Structure 1
Amino acid sequence: MRAFLMALLVLLAPALARAEAPANDQRLILVTMDGTRWQEVFRGPDAALLADKRFTHPDMKDAIEKSWKRGADLMPFLHSLPARGGVLTGNRDAGQCMAVTNAMWFSYPGYNEIFTGRADPAITSNDKIPNRNTTFFEWLNRRPGFAGQVRGYGNWDVFPFIINDKRSGVPVNAELGGAYPTETSVMRRAMDALREKGPRVLYIGLGDTDEFAHMGHYEHYLEAINRDDDFIAELWRMVEADPAWRGKTTLIVTTDHGRGAAPGAAWTEHGSAESVRLDPAGFTIADPAGFPGSDQIWLAAIGPGVHAAAPGSGCLTQSQIAASALTALGEDWRAFDAGAGAPLPFFVGR
């Protein structure tokens, strides 16, 4: 019997090897920093908001001005990516444009657009409604070599609904920390998953930036941006130190929406005129014009799936991220959805 079993294993070994070892072993980490404005990413702290006692404690103003004079001081890791062969785009001061295509300019519509490559006009709230759309996570989780290899971590309890964990089969750990900052808990769980070498696709949703902004705590919003950059840098160091991930992993960092760009308290909020009309009670500032500027976003990326290239003319869009992620993984994004936004120019030609 033992000889028979050994012979059977020898015969099955090639088939088992094909099932367990995909021809393409590319990996992806997608990180979102909820509601992080391009202004802070590229310009650094806003002098007017630092001077406004409503938003910045006077005792913090001098320390912030000494520590973070520019965007590169606030987010040194992301700003280092272009020199490493990566990209950082969305700096409107430099003529770079990136924006959402959905009409709402807040979270659920933004995450749906990132994950599916399309804006859905039917999504007009952040309510916990299972997403009717198929995300690229769900599509990958049904693909050979990816099944059971897609995971999500976050600090917002709507993520399981946006990714539709029950239908998609993608586990989404979105436990609420109960106290801020919550990124530590989220990143600890995500890094544990990375150490296990289990997932090929890892999604991390960080939300303290948006929470502190809504509270009007500008110094804490800046601290969250800086802390997220540190966490992402540590995550990338782990990738580079692990043979299973090194040289095979593409990292994409972006945001679901921007924030109001008008002077004063507009920075604490976001949303279009249409979204404000739909749910005026959801905003602390009754502005029928919405919060102009909160459709403006940015993106950073590095890895074998990224090729530094000029973004070209026109405005890059949030709807292009899903196809970019699939292209970085060596997958045909058209097989996912030919009507989704085409890959960003940094990801074409894999």
Structure 2
Amino acid sequence: MKQVLISLLLIIALHTTAQQKTENVIVITLDGFRWQEVFGGADSILINHDKFTEDKKGLQEKFWAATTDERRKKLLPFFWNTIAQQGQLYGNRWHNNFVNNANPYWFSYPGYNEIFTGIPDTAVNSNDKRWNKNENVLEFINKQKGFENKVVAFTSWDVFPWILHEERSKVYVNSAFERIGFQSPTFNLLNEMQMTAPRFLGDGVRPDLLTFYIAKEYLKTYKPRVLYIGFDETDDFAHGGKYDMYLHSAYMVDQLIADLWGWLQIDPHYKNKTTILITTDHGRGDAKKEQWTSHGAKIPDAGQIWMAVMGPDTEAKGELKTKGQLYQKQIASTIASFLGFTFKSAKTVAEPVSDMLSK
């Protein structure tokens, strides 16, 4: 009887694996992008604010509309015309659908650590360039058969080599204005563009547009199995109190994701075999209190985040309007689960979001 039970469980496991279609995963983050804009579009207070919006008329013409549904479609058309039809969006707190940081700090390094390690580590409590002691899911996947040297990260912020511990993990991480170590006419051009691009956010942050096209060219040329793209401008413009640039940056990233998804659907290596997961590292403060420029443990709402996912193993539920609570720490295991792996490290990691793999 015991042997029969073991055989039955094996058959079920093999059947489940056979049914799973995802062979590649793309993870994308928009640093410090609020759930309020994801689900509500342009904020009525901020878009009309003398201090935070320089060109009110221009911004209103581009992003304002009478209803929430119209506003969010204007700001994030790919999210609301494609992901909302084919995937899932979590974190609309107006429907009591909650997604939160589990770490208590509510800023970048702790957030990215939580995303990729599944551990809200209280020892990770600064943005300093220190090697992350926790094993991350990209590192874990990079060790699996068939994924060796097929896991890469391209990020605008220059702290990611430390967050993802590039030295130990052997995951290729290209960040900020780091030169691309691959030779081709396109890569050479992108290197030239990096060297001459205006560093309007300082030496530590590459323009998101450049980060995207470097990542896309690598994707087209080398066909990685797991790709992470970390965008940064939304956070920097928010810290600068530039709501107009914050919205324009978010809109641009939405268009870039649409471009990427469109390309994935025509490339035989990725078509119908790729899951995309999009999220943020932390939230921001309330517009009414003029705290939207800030985040951190002392800023209410800054631990409130969101997630979006779409792929061949994800049921098209659209915007989740049911009461629920998810945490950022669940993302790492979810990434691994899409590829048929159970992410384990020296510390206990959070369980995956099972509803994302419910098709």
TM category, shorter: 0.7 to 0.9
C-alpha displacement of 1:337 = 7.0
Q: Are residue 331 (structure 1) and residue 341 (structure 2) matched?
A: yes
TM-superposed CA distance for 1:231, in Å, is: 0.5
Matched residue, 2:356: 347
Match of 1:26 among 20, 23, 28: 23
Report how far residue 48 of structure 1 moved.
1.3
Q: CA contact under 8 A between 2:45 and 2:287: conserved in structure 1?
A: no
Give, in whole Å, the separation in 2 of the partners of 1:236 and 1:130.
Answer: 33
1:53 aligns with 2:62: no
Match for residue 187 of structure 1? 212
**Matched AA of 1:203:** Y
After TM superposition, the structure 1 = structure 2 runs for residues 1-350 of structure 1, keeping only pairs within 5 Å, are 26-57=23-54, 60-69=55-64, 70-176=71-177, 178-179=199-200, 182-272=207-297, 290-308=298-316, 313-333=323-343, 335=344, 339-349=348-358
Q: 5+ residue gaps in structure 2?
A: 1-19, 65-70, 178-193
How has the CA–CA distance of structure 1 residues 329 and 346 changed in structure 2, closer, same or farther, with 3 Å as cutoff?
same
Give the number of equivalent residue pairs. 308
Distance change >3 Å, CA 24–CA 145, structure 1 → 2: farther
Higher RCO structure, 1 or 2 (CA under 8 Å, sep 6+): 2
Contact residue 336 and residue 342 of structure 2 kept, 8 A:
yes
Shift of the 258–83 alpha-carbon distance from structure 1 to 2, 3 Å rule, reads closer
Q: For residue 267 of structure 1, give the secondary structure of its aligned residue in structure 2.
A: coil
- Matched residue type, 2:349: A
What is the CA deviation profile of residues 165-222 of structure 1, one whole-angstrom value per residue up to 9, with x for unaligned ones? 0000011000236236811110010100111143100000000000000111110000
Structure with larger Rg:
1
Give me the identity figure in percent.
Answer: 39
| TM-score, scaled relative to structure 2 | 0.81
Aligned equivalents of 1:82, 1:211: Cα separation in 2: 26
Matched AA of 2:167: K
Distance in 2 of aligned mates of 1:45 and 1:225: 11
Conserved 8 A contact 1:117-1:321? yes
Quote the offset at 1:83 in angstroms: 4.7
Deviations 1:78-127 (A, max 9, x none): 11245542011211112211111000000000000000111000011000
Name whichever of 129-138 and 89-98 sits farther off: 89-98
User: Which runs of structure 1 show a deviation greater than 3 angstroms over 4 or more consecutive aligned residues?
Assistant: 81-84, 308-314, 335-338
Cα distance, 1:338 vs. partner? 8.1
Once the 2 structures are TM-superposed, how far is the Cα of residue 313 of structure 1 from its aligned partner?
4.3
Query: What residue identity is the alignment partner of 1:33?
Result: L
Distance in 2 of aligned mates of 1:93 and 1:345? 23
Check conservation: 2:37, 2:43, Cα contact below 8 A. Answer: yes
Q: Give 1:340's aligned amino acid.
A: V
TM-score by length of 1: 0.83
CA distance in 2, matches of 1:346, 1:235: 24
